[in-house]
Amino acid sequence: MDVYATRVFDKQEIVMREDPVISVDTRYLTAIQASQYDKLGFLVIKGFFDKNQINELSASASFIYENPSQALTVKEPKSSVVRSALSVHTNEPFLSVSESGELAGIAKDIVGANPYIHQSRINYKEGMQSIGWSWHSDFETWHSQDGMPRMRCVTAMIPLAKNTCANGALMVIPGSHKEYVSCPAPKGHSSAEDNFTDQKDGLPNIDAISYFTTGKSVDIFTIECDPCDLVLFDCNLLHVSNPNVTPEKRTNLFFVYNSIDNQLKRPYCGINPRPEWMGARESIKEIKV
Ligand code: 6CS
Ligand code: FE
């Protein structure tokens, strides 16, 4: 039986998580950091990267944005503005950073085994031209559309610009990663690309969000952060982000680390797998920590 069945029933349902959030003994995260990550589902490590590293990543992210035909990109729903570039970790300088000792070590602490990159992306959120993202759990998508079996996966977000309320910083519901929202079956069919740019499937409704916020008296938390910070968040943490209402883009880099013991199966909602550059199933490389 699929404990995380989703998009197969008519109704939304909230069930308990059945996987650990982080391993018991962490080598790279302190006990305090580990317990905060476990409890809240996210952790911000200030000043993790040095400025030169961030400048290099930032310059490469800009190059991709200016030369989208040389990269794997998706556009904003109703325009040709680049929304995201995917599978960036296969090239430098992203490759070295994604495999670097301390970052991969933290990923191993969390997922409980050597990690590999399930997905990498740069979200550009162009000033006044990006629609933002609706409430969702990434795992719900990766389980149903990519066939990721269990919740042994973490996203490392590397801000390449200051993230503020005004430019659409990530917002999360602390603690929501301990339960799972099984979403209703989609009414129509939307392609992998469509659903990536303009999410339609796998969206928890207002009852689910209010169950986690109003029902548990939990405040939605806005992760305002700066370049050089590292933001880690659980694959099942509910999150959302608003459009960027400032004139400048807000660029963030993401590496999604999955446990090498949690490789993809057939998508659980019965569709064909998404392309390799959206969810890696064949070209994976174990990062030996
Ligand atoms: O479809 C995906 O894989 C992605 N979609 C969202 C809305 N968040 C995470 C992930 O990159
Ligand atoms: Fe997401």
pLDDT, one tens digit per residue, over 76-85 is 999 999 999 9
Give 190's pLDDT tier (boundaries 50, 70, 90): confident
pLDDT at res. 188 = 86
Residue 219 has pLDDT above 90, yes or no: yes
Residue 239 has pLDDT above 90, yes or no: yes
Residue to substitute in 87, 119, 242 for testing ligand 1 pocket (most ligand atoms within 8 angstroms of CB): 119
Give one DSSP letter per residue of 184-246, joined into a string: PPPSS---HHHHHHS--SS---HHHHHHHTTTTT---EE--B-TT-EEEEETT--EEE----S
Higher model confidence: residue 127 or residue 188? 127
Write the CA distances from 50 to 21, 28, 54, 97, 268, integer angstroms. 28, 18, 7, 12, 40
User: Mean pLDDT, to the nearest integer, of 223-243?
Assistant: 98
Give 253's pLDDT tier (boundaries 50, 70, 90): very high
Q: How far is the CA of 184 from the centre of ligand 1 (A)?
A: 18
Distance CA 132, CA 167 (A): 10
Is the shortest distance between the CB of 199 and ligand 1 below 6 Å? yes
Tell me how far the alpha carbon of residue 45 is from its chain's centroid. 17
User: Mean pLDDT, to the nearest integer, of 161-185?
Assistant: 98
In 3D space, the residue among 16, 88, 59, 72 whose CA is nearest the CA of residue 236 turns out to be 16
pLDDT at res. 194 = 84
Number of CB atoms found within 10 A of residue 17's CB = 18
- The answer to whether the predicted template modeling score (pTM) of the entire model surpasses 0.95 is yes
pLDDT at res. 88 = 98
Q: Cβ distance 102 to 158 under 8 Å?
A: no
pLDDT at res. 278 = 98
Nearest CA to ligand 1 atom 9: 138
Residue 189 has pLDDT above 90, yes or no: no
Q: Cβ distance 84 to 198 under 8 Å?
A: no
Is the shortest distance between the CB of 94 and ligand 1 below 6 Å? no
Give 64's pLDDT tier (boundaries 50, 70, 90): very high
E strands in the chain: 13-16, 42-45, 72-75, 82-86, 115-123, 133-136, 153-159, 171-172, 179-182, 221-222, 230-234, 239-241, 252-259
Amino acid at the residue 229: D
Q: Cβ distance 231 to 40 under 8 Å?
A: no
User: Mean pLDDT, to the nearest integer, of 44-73?
Assistant: 98
- Residue 269 has φ and ψ, to the nearest 5°, of -95, 15
Mean pLDDT, rounded, of the chain: 97
Nearest CA to ligand 1 atom 8: 138
In 3D space, the residue among 53, 151, 178, 42 whose CA is nearest the CA of residue 106 turns out to be 42
Residue 236 has pLDDT above 90, yes or no: yes
Residue 125 has pLDDT above 90, yes or no: yes
Instruction: Locate the ligand 1 atom nearest the alpha carbon of residue 192 and give its number.
Output: 1
In 3D space, the residue among 97, 74, 229 whose CA is nearest the CA of residue 157 turns out to be 229
**Buried b / exposed e along 150-186 (16+ C-beta atoms within 10 A):** bbbbbbbbbbbbebeeebbbbbbbbebbebbbbbbeb
